[in-house]
Structures are given as C-alpha cells and as structure tokens.
Amino acid sequence: MNKKKTSLWERYLTKEIGIEFKACLYFFAILFIYCVYKLTQGSFTADILHMAEMILLCYIICYVQVYLLGNFDESESFGAKEAGGIFICTAVYTGFSLLFDWFERSVAWTAGFAAYIILVYICIFLIYKVKRRIDDKVLNEELEMFQSRPGKEEDTEAEP
C-alpha cells in the first residue's frame, strides 16, 4: 500500500486550486455578458476596475460556495439546497453589479444579468454531472481491467 500521505498543505492547495479554477470559470462567464453589454452600448473597451471587482467577487463567492454552501454547483442531484445556493449567489452577484455599476444601473440589463447567472449555474451543474458520468464509465472500465488482470487467483487452474 502507498505510504505516501497527502500533507495538510497539499490538501489545502488542491482545494485552493479548485476554488481558483471555479472563480475563473464564473469570472469569464460574467465578463462575457459584461462585454456584450459594452458592445451594445457602442463601446469597445472594458473597465479594468470592473474586471478587478468581478474576479474578486467571484473568488469570494466561490469560497462561500465551497465552505458554506456545500459546493452546490457540483452536487449529485438538484434539490432545494442547490436552488437556495443559486438564489443566494445570484442575488449577491446582482446586488454587487448594481453597487459597482457594471451595467450603469439599467434595470433591464440587471434583470437579464440575474437570469444569465442562474443559467450559468444550471449549465455548470450539468457540465459537472456529465463529467462525473464519463468518469464513472472510465473508472468502471479500469476496474474491470484491474479485476481481470493476469496472474489473479481466478486464472489458476487446479488439477485433481
């Protein structure tokens, strides 16, 4: 058996990388709708300060998602807990979009942004679900190969 244990630092780092990856995922989703908004307003420039606010907010919300909201976007099934998580996070993103003036307080765009965030959460939930389903298939194929390895007891023939 492998005696190499994962250290506390390595475990923390694995979780931290996972959160940062998630934060980047949500940041790019928000950046996309922000860029679409800017383009519709006839602007080809994005505010660096807005982008900094977005990434920082995504990072904080992803921390909350993982440590306080049970990592709901990676859940096995969709229930009240997951719907609650999506509602809370969408409300926070929408609130901060108003506070930081990302969509110049446009009611229509802010409402659209909230709907878009809900859609992003549902898509990410489905993506993780599909990923796990593929992983299941790979794992069970490898398990089958492992169990039929040469030299296993079942390969031994005993003659009377």
Partner 1 sequence: MKITIKQTDGAEAQVVVTYGELTPEVEKVIDFLKGHSTTLTGKCDDETVRFNARDILYIETVDDRTFAYTESKIIKLSHSLAALTELLDDISFIRCSKSMILNIDKIERLKSLPSNRIDATMKGGEHILISRTYASELRNRLKKGGVGRE
Q: Which residues bind partner 1 (CB under 8 A)?
A: 1-2, 4-6, 11, 14, 71, 74-76, 128, 132-133, 135-136, 139-140, 142-143, 145-147, 149, 151-153, 156
The angle subtended at Cα 149 by Cα 143 and Cα 154, nearest 5°, is: 105
With beta carbons less than 8 A apart as the criterion, state whether 66 and 26 touch.
Answer: no
Nearer to partner 1, 32 or 67 (CB): 67
* Sign of the alpha-carbon dihedral angle for 89, 90, 91, 94: positive
Nearer to partner 1, 3 or 107 (CB): 3
Helices then strands, each counted (H, E), the chain: 4, 0
Q: Least separation, in Å, of the C-beta of 147 and partner 1?
A: 6
Q: Least separation, in Å, of the C-beta of 58 and partner 1?
A: 19
